[in-house]
Amino acid sequence: MAGLIDLARRNWQIFNPSELPKVEKPLMFGILGAADIAPMALISPAKTHPDVKILAVAARNYDKAKAYAQKHGIPEVKASYQDIINDTQIDCVYIPLPNGLHYEWAIRALQAGKHVLLEKPSVNNTSEAEMLFRNPVLSGSQPPVLLEAAHYLFHPAWTQFMTYISPQDVASAKAVLWVPRWQFAADNIRYRYDLGGGALMDLGAYTASALFRIFGNVAEACEECDVQASSIDANCDRSFKARYRFPGGGHGEMEGDLKASLDRWSPNIHVTHRPVVISAKEAGVSLTEAQEAVRVRKIKFTTFVQPAFLHAIEIDDEFTIHAVADKKSVIKRWKKHQTVKCYSFHEAGIEQIGEPHWPTYRYQLEQFVNKVRGRETPQWVDHEASINTLRMIDMAYTAANLPLRPTSK
């Protein structure tokens, strides 16, 4: 019963955050586009951050931007995206535009000295990612901050999950992410090739970045990728199934569907480690010099994309003890299962700010502000990691015989 009460309380607080008073000079944010994701990704988290204020929004349609500002309590409406960038009061720019517009407006904002929180996927392809994240504007003693908003990586549950992963020992991993078929209309921008659409671009940005971190490296190749094209644009994938080969011989799989059936609802990760020799202390037994213990670990992370709502990390270990001289002779075999949940860093035994009801976006905003303010950032998505995510997506498109999303001119 207590667990159900905590679940209800936590989820109510996620959608009904208590607004905190602001510091004397908070970071001022401008939003490019009246995007559906912005209320959850920035506007709501900003209410509970004392050092963040949303100052202005701009959209292609001024009336739409005005209605959006009134709905979400945004003080100013600008006539254009460029007006946001030109405003000297604005410190940071949030870019939730269609993927195909990310590169242009991120570059414009960075060149104007604005810090940029850029929705994922960061850009359209690897070439654009290299041009953006290795741009000279990001070098120097005090460059502007640029962060790809891979928000799930900032939640304590992901940090806890990774403590059970030994990247060098991972034999296989699979990441799946589904979106119910009613979520996006057939003419949604996710199905427009010219705007960087496709399921791999949208859902694959999560699954590819997860595999990259689990294996601790970018894949060597995408061995196969099966896609189902959208009904609007044959160059845009509605769903995908990809298989990668990683350095060391490990294999990773990822699946995603923008029109999934209702029985596919939970975004999960499954990881299997190779058999590894462990110490007597790790095995929890006493060993003679002629014996050794071996462990095979399997992990399932349920709801890895939005763990704040409800998640579970299940660890299944199988142990064997055998003679060093005869590894086939099993002296003892046993199993251990544990389920872990982690909604705050305190629960993970880490001294770091956070509340159980903070969604992934709030944890992400905390670190973005820390980086801008020159403070320590325990969780971060570095620029090379963002490039490698696009590299793996491009591998999948190539294996599927689909063109890469177009490079900006």
Residue 400, SS3? coil
Look up residue 151 and give its amino acid.
H
Please state, in angstroms and rounded to a whole number, the distance separating the CA atoms of residues 213 and 153.
Answer: 10
CB burial of residue 1 (10 Å; 0-12, 13-18, 19+): exposed
CA distance 203 to 291: 46
> In 3D, which of 134, 138, 101, 135 has the Cα closest to residue 119?
101
Q: Which of 120, 298, 300, 371 is catalytic?
A: 120
* 174 is known as an active-site residue: no
Query: DSSP characters for 220-273?
Result: SEEEEEEEEE-SS-TTSEEEEEEEEE-TTS-EEEEEEEEEE-TT----EEEEEE
Q: How many helices (H) and strands (E) does the chain have?
A: 13, 15
Q: Which amino acid is at 154?
A: F
Task: Report the distance separating Cα 201 and Cα 122, nearest Å.
Answer: 10
What is the per-residue burial (b if ≥16 Cβ within 10 Å, else e) of 151-170? bbbbbbbbbbbeebbebebb
Cα–Cα distance measured from residue 256 to residue 175, given in angstroms and rounded to the nearest whole number:
9
In degrees and rounded to multiples of 5, residue 95 shows phi and psi of -120, 95
**Which residues belong to the active site?**
120
